[in-house]
Amino acid sequence: SFKLTQPPSVSVSPGQTASITCSTDRLDDRYASWYQQRPGQSPLLVIYQDSKRPSGIPERFSGSNSGNTATLTITGTQTMDEADYYCQAWDTTFWVFGGGTKLTVL
Amino acid sequence: EVQLVESGGGLVQPGGSLRLSCAASGFTFSSYWMSWVRQAPGKGLEWVANIKQNGGQKYYVDSVKGRFTISRDNAKNSLYLQMDSLRVEDTAVYFCARESLSTSCYDYWGQGALVTVSS
């Protein structure tokens, strides 16, 4: 199996760009997805297949995957984006989640 | 509208059993792999198990193998998780989630069911 490593926390000022990384070996062999989870809510898919946005997700959310690191970028971060973010990837017969990153907007 | 509604959570003693259900609606349930994902209090997400469209393939995280059983009833549009020999460390909110066709992600999640294992 493999492990996905995320920073525990990231802070950003409103209107600035937030970047959250997700790393492991050979991540570019797999698709990465990203989920947003606000307190008391279920996770919400914000990026899939490394860089695609589901319908209804704002354009300020974008993703990339290169080498051994996937990155979620939020451009023009808003206070409503404050949440936990999890990366995820598939490994043959099981799913793996990163440990999560708490994004603070202040 | 796609909906996933979990039920069956509650308080159980260590060593006990519990069965979670997930009622699906708004899509052709029999066409999708389905998963259970859990989240311990204050912790991150952990995949628990998943099951193929026809129930013919099932996979589990190592920590629940031999204790948990995932199943489905496509006629009832329902997903289940039978949890036996429960441990304190199984305490978590359990989410049912739909695996998106061909895009390697979960596109819909239920609201979660809380399972508390405590004496």
Contact state of B106 with A45 under an 8 Å Cβ cutoff: yes
A27 pLDDT more than 70? no
Which tens digit of pLDDT belongs to each residue from B58-116? 999 999 999 999 999 999 999 999 999 999 999 999 999 999 878 889 999 999 999 99
Residue A66: the pLDDT is: 87
CA distance A27 to chain B (A): 14
B88 φ/ψ angles, rounded to the nearest 5 degrees: -55, -40
CA distance B118 to A49: 39
Q: Which residues of A touch B42 (CB under 8 A)?
A: none
Q: What share of chain A in percent tops pLDDT 90?
A: 82
Chain B hits for A94, Cβ within 8 Å: 47, 50, 59, 61
CB A90 within 8 A of CB A48: no
Cα B98 to the center of its chain, rounded Å: 10
Q: Mean pLDDT in chain B?
A: 96
CA nearest to A91 within chain B: B104
* Location of structure tokens 């990153």: A101
3-state secondary structure of A52: strand
Structure tokens at B90: 């199984």
Check pLDDT > 70 for residue A55: yes
Mean pLDDT value of segment A25-38: 86
